[in-house]
Amino acid sequence: MVNENLVKAVVKEPYKYGFVTDIETEKIAKGLNEDIIRLISQKKEEPKFLLDFRLKAFKKWQKMKEPDWAGLGYKKIDYQDIIYYSAPKQKEKISSLDEVDPKLLETFDKLGIPLTEQKKLTNVAVDAVFDSVSIATTFREELAEHGVIFCSISEAVKNHADLIEKYLGTVVPASDNYFAALNSAVFSDGSFVYIPKGVTCPMDLSSYFRINSGDSGQFERTLIIAEESSSVSYLEGCTAPMFDTNTLHAAVVELIALDDASIKYSTVQNWYAGDEEGIGGIFNFVTKRGKCLGKRSKISWSQVETGSAITWKYPSCLLLGEESVGEFYSVALTNNLQQADTGTKMIHIGPKTKSTIVSKGISAGNSINSYRGLVKMGTKATGSRNYSQCDSMLIGDQASANTFPYIKSQQPNSEIEHEASTCRISEDQLFYLQSRGIEFEEAVSMMVSGFCRDVFNQLPMEFAAEADKLLALKLEGSVG
């Protein structure tokens, strides 16, 4: 009855970004060793400090073990069977968008991210990353007028080496974890944002990550620095073609907010999730962390995670500055055989720091959806507060949801509040909506988006609409 119908509706989910762009690429040989790392660094014409950073990370990585504490089930990754650098062949130096391969522009067009001058989105600046390289960044001049730097990280290495040297790896050190170490050794491209003192970024900034090649991993690296009293809203989107092999994606994102600065980082993650038998899909092992270094600084993560075969991701905040604020708003939807282990870490170090966690997990099909979060109050975090709310929604009777909240407090003068709930879309609720003429699938998606409302309200407006549609699409089984 209800479960049968639901499972049917849910399983029909299409993935409309599953196409491959047929383009000539430059790939290096498979495998990982010091020479490969030197080659990547050389291709990117990097300064010595960065090569050293990579090699050191690689040495650490070799001594580390792949973490298994999340209890995720997947085929062992053969790190020697991955290509660590893949880039579409282009003219040596591109000075304007007109010189970008039309096939690439067409690809991003198809993804709903037009890049050309005539068609580009008017209120968002976009950095488009294709496999290992950034293809184009829009609105650069306009942003530059405000002193905002928005470019690929490779370019930043060339043009703003001082900032890179000063901040890279300071939030997520190479030794942080296995995948962060791997990323530090081989990262290819990603975005770099610098907002100068006192500047409110005049438009939303956005990176769009596209994996195109089936046998190369994607290791992007993003670094955002908000100087005193500045603010920025940054959006990130991701898609990949449908391959029956698994592709590794191990990204690192570092955010730094100084006194009175605020960074809002929103993600809609829709990597290919694999088919209904669990064949193919992206392995998404990501380390995202923000450092509220300054007083009254604020970092807010919001994420809508719908894709990937495996998601292992805990966007976190280190709350150092007095009265700094960390937020985490998350919707994670899993279906079929997807596994998601996601949550956050709120590390309260400074006094009067505040954090809010709102997590909504929706599991359908045979998927496993876990929230895993740590709230820690350090010895100096007097008068600090945390509020956490973790809700799970189950669709059908084969899916599972878990909540693992870890709480550590070394400061008696602080407050931690945790609420959790699990619900199932009940037959009675569906019947009620249906008996008012609302179609079954629409009833499901109404309830799912109602369940996610608290989080959607945190997303930038256009993103919220997109997220709502994406969830509905995933559940409706209709091509949008």
Partner 1 sequence: MQSKMKESDPILEVENLSASTDNLPILKGVSLTVYPGEIHAIMGRNGCGKSTLSKIIAGHPSYNITNGDIKFLGENINSLEPEERAQSGIFLGFQYPIEIPGVSNLEFLRVSTNARRKFLNKEELDTFDFEELVKEKLEIVKMDHAFLSRSVNQGFSGGEKKRNEILQMALLEPKIAILDETDSGLDIDALRIVASGIKKISNAQTGIILITHYQRLLDEIKPNYVHVMSDGQIIKTGESDLALELEKKGYEWTDNFIKET
Nearest-approach distance from CB 429 to partner 1, in angstroms: 5
Token pair, residue 9, equals: 């509706």
Q: Which is nearer to partner 1, 228 or 454 (CB)?
A: 454
Contact between 389 and partner 1 per CB under 8 A:
no
179 within 8 A of 250, measured Cβ to Cβ: yes
Nearest-approach distance from CB 468 to partner 1, in angstroms: 12
Among 27, 442, 469, 477, binds partner 1 (CB under 8 A): 442
Token pair, residue 98, equals: 């007109």
Residues 449-478 that bind partner 1 (CB under 8 A): 449-453
CA distance 124 to 437: 39
Q: Which is nearer to partner 1, 219 or 451 (CB)?
A: 451
Closest by CA to 376, choosing from 332, 326, 422, is: 326
Contact between 440 and partner 1 per CB under 8 A:
yes
Longest Cα–Cα distance of the chain, Å, equals: 68
CA distance 250 to 476: 30
Closest by CA to 347, choosing from 311, 321, 312, 313, is: 321
- Count of residues making up the chain: 480
Q: Which is nearer to partner 1, 79 or 440 (CB)?
A: 440
What number of other Cβ atoms are within 10 A of residue 55's Cβ? 16
Token pair, residue 27, equals: 């790939």
Q: For partner 1, which stretch binds (CB under 8 A), given 248-256, 301-309, 341-349, 433-441? A: 433-441
Helix axes 427-434 and 440-456, enclosed angle (nearest 10)? 110
Q: For partner 1, which stretch binds (CB under 8 A), given 79-87, 150-158, 405-413, 437-445? A: 437-445
Contact between 279 and partner 1 per CB under 8 A:
no
Contact between 438 and partner 1 per CB under 8 A:
yes
Q: What residue type is assigned to position 103 of the chain?
A: K
Q: For partner 1, which stretch binds (CB under 8 A), given 271-279, 307-315, 375-383, 426-434? A: 426-434
Q: Which is nearer to partner 1, 437 or 480 (CB)?
A: 437
Contact between 161 and partner 1 per CB under 8 A:
no
Residues 396-425 that bind partner 1 (CB under 8 A): 423
Token pair, residue 278, equals: 């669990």
CA distance 162 to 206: 23
Contact between 432 and partner 1 per CB under 8 A:
yes
Contact between 433 and partner 1 per CB under 8 A:
yes
346 within 8 A of 374, measured Cβ to Cβ: yes
Q: Which is nearer to partner 1, 182 or 425 (CB)?
A: 425
Nearest-approach distance from CB 336 to partner 1, in angstroms: 24
Q: For partner 1, which stretch binds (CB under 8 A), given 125-133, 162-170, 332-340, 429-437? A: 429-437
Phi-psi map region of 453: left, alpha, beta (phi>0 left; psi -120 to 50 alpha) = alpha
Q: For partner 1, which stretch binds (CB under 8 A), given 140-148, 194-202, 252-260, 448-456? A: 448-456
Beta strands at 246-249 and 262-269: parallel, antiparallel or unpaired: unpaired
**417 CB-near residues (< 8 Å, 6+ apart):** 385, 386, 387, 388
Q: Which is nearer to partner 1, 419 or 439 (CB)?
A: 439
Residue 243, Cα to own-chain centre: how many angstroms?
21
Chain positions contacting partner 1, by CB under 8 A = 1-2, 423, 426-429, 431-440, 442, 446-447, 449-453
